[in-house]
Amino acid sequence: MQARRVAVIGTGYVGLTTGACLAALGHRVVCADADAGKVERLRRAEVDIMEPRLPELVEEGLAAGRLTFVQDTPAAVREAEIVFLCLPTPMGSGGAADLAAVEAVADEIRAVLPHGCAVVNKSTVPVGTSERVAALLGRPDVSVVSNPEFLREGRAVQDFMHPDRLVVGSADEDAARLVADLYAGLDAPTLLMDAAGAELTKYAANFFLAMKLSFANNLATLCEALGADIDDVTRGIGHDPRIGGAFLQPGPGWGGSCLPKDTHALLTVCEQAGVDFPLLRATIETNLKHQQTLVERVVAGCGQPDGSLRGVRLALFGLTFKAGTSDLRDSPALAVARALRERGAELYAYDPALSETRPDLSDLLTLTATPEEAAGGAAACLVLTEWPHFHDLDWEAVAGRLASPVVHDFRNFLDAERLRRAGLTCRAVGRPV
């Protein structure tokens, strides 16, 4: 593998993982971020996201001189052979991906890109963005390549180093090969295609994953109605390799910084292409409906005659969108919390990844320092994130604090028998009541 000079613009979890891992593979990487404070912290190997092994890789890269951090984007790209754009593409108006950051950087680097370099889009972008970036750059000597990432938060380094596949798309085959060769040290099939195919692959992958989850959550509701156990059914179907057993664990709906944003953005892509994709709409709607079903279950369990939750205190265990991250973006736990709050509930929440002071959450709930504190006087406890730590809680202590001995295990991961011994009734999703 030939060591290359790489620039990475944007040091979010995708950019920083890409930069640190490429440095670990032997490349010389300059990462740029507009946030001066963040650049300072990264120069001291202080990583402010929860990503296993990432701080160590940053530290090693810095020590080896293969990884540097700058605030000045043009300075970062000046010597680069390959420039990665790892920029946020949040949900914009009407659900479409907002490309303002990608466009602003394209504008900023246009004049300083070295002759013949490749610009790689790692950000999740609508089909046609590579062409748009190429047009914005207006540099016939610079090729634009789409190389989407398939990293999961909380497992980003592991996923980078052990990918299922590498997808590299460009009209310029030489540029695509140059980018693919960066990963020569990794053991994974490389799929070369055009840019449109690579861009759509990313959306299709996240849509398919979301579809599997909506399927599993709906199936869980059916299991409850029929007296079957969702775990039996997903095990039963998952052994068929055409279906696969992964990503079928029911929960409080799917969330996070990617699946909701990308499914909505794909919906806009479909509309703009004049293609109706009912399965995509159903996938999104099922997620919302599933959350409403769970909320109604809590409301019914509280048994207030007017169907409200006024004056009812509830304990929420877990707020992040999944375990292993401190990320709250589009967290299903927060969606459930909002719906409960609208019904009048008073919410006390404990999450091991969150400190007690979160002014952004103060209108919605009160964060506590311990699970027992959250449970104090609550009519029910809702487990919303599958933190392993909850499995081994002192459930007797929690039972002693609850006003009513009810636990809703919305992640289906607690040991119901263990909770029963602690005097608690545990209701899971998709299991016979």
Instruction: Please say which residue, 60 or 159, places its beta carbon nearer to ligand UGA.
Output: 159
* 61, 169, 332, 371: residue in contact with ligand UGA (rule CB under 6 A): 332
According to the binding rule CB under 6 A, does residue 378 interact with ligand UGA? no
Residue 322 binding ligand UGA, by CB under 6 A: yes
Is residue 256 a contact residue for ligand UGA (CB under 6 A)?
Answer: yes
Counting residues that bind ligand UGA (by CB under 6 A) gives 22
- The answer to whether 123 and 88 are in contact (CB under 8 A) is yes
Position 413 contacts ligand UGA (CB under 6 A) = no
427-431 own/partner pairs: CB under 8 Å, 24+ apart: 427/297, 427/301, 429/217, 429/220, 429/224, 429/230, 429/250, 429/251, 429/252, 429/294, 430/219, 430/220, 430/221, 430/223, 430/224, 430/229, 430/230, 430/231, 430/250, 431/223, 431/224, 431/229, 431/230, 431/231
Q: CA nearest 15: which of 146, 127, 151, 158?
A: 151
Q: Which two tokens stand for residue 355?
A: 């400190």
For ligand UGA, give the closer residue by CB, 169 or 251.
Answer: 251
Side chain identity at 5, as an amino acid letter?
A: R
Determine contact, residues 7/32, Cβ cutoff 8 Å.
yes
What gap in Å lies between CA 51 and CA 421, rounded to an integer? 36
Hey, how many other C-beta atoms are within 10 angstroms of the C-beta on 85?
A: 24
Cα distance between residue 383 and residue 259, in whole Å: 21
Does residue 254 bind ligand UGA (CB under 6 A)? Answer: yes
Q: Which is nearer to ligand UGA, 28 or 322 (CB)?
A: 322
Minimum CB separation of residue 186 from ligand UGA in Å reads 16
- Interface residue with ligand UGA among 255, 318, 371, 430 (CB under 6 A) is 255
SS3 245: coil
Closest CB 207 distance from ligand UGA, rounded Å: 11
Tell me how far, at minimum, the Cβ of 311 lies from ligand UGA, in Å.
30
From candidates 16, 21, 248, 419, binder to ligand UGA by CB under 6 A: 248
Task: Give the DSSP letter of residue 144.
Answer: E
How far from 92 is each of 52, 88, 277, CA to CA, in Å? 30, 11, 21
Annotated catalytic, 258?
Answer: yes
CB closer to ligand UGA out of 332 and 371: 332
- Catalytic residue of the set 117, 258, 302, 426: 258
- Contacts (CB under 6 A) with ligand UGA, residues 116-155: 124, 149-153
Residues 184-223 that bind ligand UGA (CB under 6 A): 206, 209, 213
Least distance in angstroms from the C-beta of 210 to ligand UGA: 8
Positive or negative torsion for Cα 403, 405, 406, 409: positive
- Using the rule CB under 6 A, give the single segment among 73-81, 90-98, 167-175, 249-257 that binds ligand UGA: 249-257
Nearer to ligand UGA, 80 or 255 (CB): 255
359 residue type, one letter:
P
Q: How many CA atoms lie within 13 A of 323 on its CB side?
A: 13
Report the residue from 259, 267, 361, 379 that binds ligand UGA according to the rule CB under 6 A: 259
Nearer to ligand UGA, 117 or 209 (CB): 209
Give the other-Cβ count within 10 Å of 360's Cβ.
Answer: 7
The interface region with ligand UGA, picked from 27-35, 47-55, 245-253, 305-313 by CB under 6 A, is: 245-253
Active site residue ranges: 258
Contact footprint for ligand UGA (CB under 6 A): 124, 149-153, 206, 209, 213, 247-249, 251, 254-259, 321-322, 332
